[in-house]
A and B are shown apart, each in its own frame.
Chain A
Amino acid sequence: MLGALIIVFREVIEAGLIVGIVLAATRGVFGRGRWVTTGVVGGVLGAAVVALFAGVISEAFEGAGQELFNASVLGIAVIMLMWHNAWMARHGREIAAEMRSVGTAVSEGARPLTALAIVVGLAVLREGSEVVLFLYGIMASGTSGMSLLVGGVLGVAAGGLFTALTYFGLLAIPTRYIFSVTSWLIALLAAGMAAQAVQFLNNGGLLLVLGRTMWDTSWLLSEGSIMGKLMHTLIGYTERPTELQLVVYIGTLFAMFLLMRFARYSPRQRAATV
């Protein structure tokens, strides 16, 4: 039972971390609960569909279907996170100011929530499909199934608890700083996802450049440990990054930085013309 709990928990915390950060990043934005819920529900439904068609996906594109699928999911999530951060760079200050003065949710900001709802949905879909397949395997194997299943369900619950902890932990940050902190968290999240995506493309045989391993820090922090998994999701920690992963990681951070800078200048120009 404990084994099943740990396996499921390990899968769920990756998505949980992302949901927690998204919730904190949208603090004070009107209707965010509905958007995030839509993302989670959509992700769970999607996970079931992906698990159901796992065999078909796997065999597509000469056996590289799963890698392509994962790379695409991660790629879309990276773009959505960039979009959100650019939007937040433009409007974050207004929202934070309004939150301080009124203390309630502001109505502006329905737009970027589409992006974040998609991010939440994709995160849940990716990790969730593995949980669904694992739990399905337990049920299919019969005999000792029940106690393992309980372990799996407890693992999902523990993952939910972890999401809440992430969220409330981030809420402890003063309102003045919360958006800059979450923006940086999202930038690191996106950079890690982009680096993961290019590795999937390498596995699929589609991107075989700069494949040399740069270093090995598995002695320091194993990717298989819970802490390693957390850091993997949070900042894109990889114990053996390839040259391409490092380039893409830094490139994504840089692109994010530029995007946020450009976005920040726009309102003044707009105010002048209106």
Chain B
Amino acid sequence: MTIMRSLIVLTALAAFVALAPVPADAQSFTVTIKNHKFSPSELKVPAGKRITVTVVNDDPTPEEFESHELKFEKVIPGKSKAVVRFGPLTKGRYKFFGEYHEDTAQGAVVVE
């Protein structure tokens, strides 16, 4: 019974997900991690747009790319890249960091 109900909910959710609109005007940016530091450490992005950031991890070690303010967390293995999506955002400064090397891996998204 319970499983049946769960399946129905899940199916409904899947349909909902499939129908969700994807904004076409997403803007792309790139951040590189090298020696546990971000470059650029500050990203200027437009307000009110969906943002796509490609994170290139040039270090041989993995990093967890995370931001409480932008609400994402993503593990990026060494010598590889990953895509992080967030927004639309309002004006302000949003910090992000590398959880595995928090002392050096600090950066921010600045929305203007």
Contact = CB atoms under 8 A, between A and B. Distances in A.
Interface of A: 3, 7, 54-55, 58-59, 62-64, 66-67, 75, 79, 82-83, 86-87, 129-130, 133-134, 136-138, 140-141, 199, 201-209, 211, 218, 222-224, 238-240, 242, 255, 259, 263
B62 A58 contact: no
Contacts of B88: 211
11 contacts: A58-B76, A62-B83, A63-B82, A83-B6, A130-B64, A133-B75, A137-B63, A141-B61, A203-B72, A207-B20, A240-B69
Nearest to B83: A63
B74 A3 contact: no
Interface in B51-79: 60-64, 68-69, 71-72, 74-78
Contact of B50 (A3, A82, A134, A208): A208
Contacts of A242: 71
Contact of A208 (B23, B64, B80): B23
Interface residues on B, range: 35 or more
Contacts, number: 98
B84 interface: yes
Contacts of A83: 2-3, 6
Contacts of B78: 137, 140
B42 interface: no
Given A205-B85, A208-B50, A218-B68, A130 B61 contact: no
Interface in B1-50: 2-3, 5-6, 9-10, 16-17, 20-23, 50
Interface of B: 2-3, 5-6, 9-10, 16-17, 20-23, 50, 60-64, 68-69, 71-72, 74-78, 80, 82-86, 88, 99-100, 103
A201 B17 contact: yes
A204 B69 contact: no
B68 A66 contact: no
A66 B74 contact: yes
B77 A240 contact: no
Contacts of B80: 55, 58-59
A11 B2 CA distance: 31
